[in-house]
Amino acid sequence: METKSDFLIIGSGIAGLSYALRVAEFGSVSIITKKEKADSNTNLAQGGIAAVISNDDSFELHIRDTLTAGDGLCHIDAVETLVYEGPKRLNELIDIGVKFTTKYGKLDLGREGGHSRNRIVHAQDLTGKEIERALLQKIATHPNIKIYENHIAIDLITEHHLGINLNKSSDIHCWGAYVLDVEQGIVKKFLAQITMLSTGGLGHVYLHTTNPLIATGDGVAMAYRAGANIANMEFIQFHPTTLHNSGSPSFLISEAVRGFGAYLKTIDGERFMSKYHPSLELAPRDVVARAIDAELKRRGDNYIYLDLRHLPADSIKEKFPNIYQTCLEKYKLDITMELIPVVPAAHYACGGVFTDLVGRTNIKNLFACGEVAMTGVHGANRLASNSLLEAIVFSERAATTSIEIVSNQKIQIPEIPEWDDSGTFNTEEWILISHDRKEIQEIMWDYVGIVRSDLRLERAIRRLSFIHEEVENFYKKTKITEPLIELRNLVLVALLIAKSAIMRKESRGLHYNTDYPQKDDINWKKDTIISIWD
């Protein structure tokens, strides 16, 4: 079965949907999404979008804050692009119907760790959900866009599928993807002149994560197998404050809560951030996560506390209605009167598919945008609320370039063979291999987490390499299923993170190695780039 369109978008978060609305004016668009169309990291984003709006703020300050958080690895041209173009893209979201929180007739601006000014535009504490709602509402009425729910991409279609041998110097072209229709259990060909990867994050590589269940690193894995360059995978941001024992995904207590004035305390009531950073609770996320991790290990505790009890209860309820209601109703915790037990959890990948400033990868006609991409904006550590901003800024730039390509040249798509699913599915063998998912997550949590060492990383690589080989062997001889696709992607992405981490012989930003505790600008002030050809 074959579907053809001018633009194929894999993923339905803010990056993919924003891109879709722009390119749909110039051609047909197919959006494939693993689950329901609103399942995405965007939908779970509580904080907001950082943008220079107020009179006491400036582009220079936002750029400086971003570069400081990125710890020397941000690409300055990407950061300038992000900050200068951000306010215009934000106003476009307002124009399509996103209802941001206002106060006295103006946008209500919050503040989060690493920001020197109040610049976080938000929709109470459900910003991502509100943006997703408005984008999907707009897309539902567009005649050129079709969304395919419960469709999961297996692999990008390139010369490899034509039997052509590729190498590092080959010109590789992407013509779409093989996609599993989960409900029908059949593999389809989705062919397109331009393919956009907007698959989001990879949090479920780890045992504890704030990410939705769909975040299994599919885009990075597919792009790597196809020959794309992957960069800076060692920089995984752990959100410092997720609700302890809140399940999977972990319930996130927004950074804006600390921006509002909450304290971090040990179980016996000690405020400890003064030992780690002059900005206390508003230090960058990597600093706060490591500080919490250090306190937990020093004391042997399972969690620390977030304390809002000194703040006005009515203001807390007004500012964080979703967090307040969820904690009260689901977890029987009144955050206005009780201490909140919190722990760090994997939250955001600063690395990904290496792109230029318009979203192009090194594979022709393959673009990437959002969390799956590495534009250079985040460097070694993402500044809070720059992620949704990155998605809207770079999706517009990618759309402009994609439209130019489709308008100026008719891309010839060769005859693509049908998917060969002649393998047999052995239920008993799958039961055995399905346990690998939990093992991968435990390996990553224990050995490739907030604090690392060469010994831990080497052990992780050995064990992950064995699981990777086992999964690939099983994949080659069996019928495709959604859990198998995710498992295959998870173990590959886990390996890419571990291998990238052991390559970097220093500590910087989100990557902390006890064997190399200092930053080394002479040798390591550069991106870690890997590909299947290395």
CATH 3.50.50.60 range(s) for the chain read 2-234+350-408
Q: 478-514 pLDDT, tens per residue?
A: 888 999 999 999 999 999 999 999 999 999 999 999 9
Which is more confidently placed, 409 or 460?
460
Give residue-wise pLDDT tens across range 285-318.
Answer: 788 988 998 898 888 898 999 999 999 999 999 9
Choose the catalytic residue: 89, 111, 285, 508. 285
pLDDT band at 41 (very low <50, low <70, confident <90, very high): very low
Contact 293, 346 (CB under 8 A): no
- For 242-345, CATH gives 3.90.700.10
Query: Which of 18-22, 297-301, 527-531 comes out lowest in average pLDDT?
Result: 297-301
DSSP string computed for 218-232: HHHHHHHHHT--EE-
Question: Would the pLDDT of 39 be above 70?
Answer: no
Concatenating the DSSP letter of every residue in 14-64 gives HHHHHHHHHHTTSS-EEEE-SSSTT-SHHHH--S-EE---STT--HHHHHH
| All CATH 3.90.700.10 domain ranges in the chain, comma separated | 242-345
pTM of the model: 0.91
- 227-284 pLDDT, tens digit per residue, is 999 999 999 999 899 999 888 788 989 888 998 999 999 999 999 999 999 999 988 7
- Treating both helix axes as pointing N-terminal to C-terminal, what angle do 482-503 and 436-447 enclose, rounded to 10 degrees? 20
What mean pLDDT do residues 509-528 have? 97
User: Which residues belong to CATH 1.20.58.100 in the chain?
Assistant: 427-528
Catalytic (active site) residue 64: no
* CATH number for the domain whose boundaries are 2-234+350-408: 3.50.50.60
Cβ atoms 9, 148 nearer than 8 A? no
pLDDT tens for each residue of 53-81: 999 999 999 999 999 999 999 999 999 99
Domain 427-528 has CATH 1.10.3720.10: no
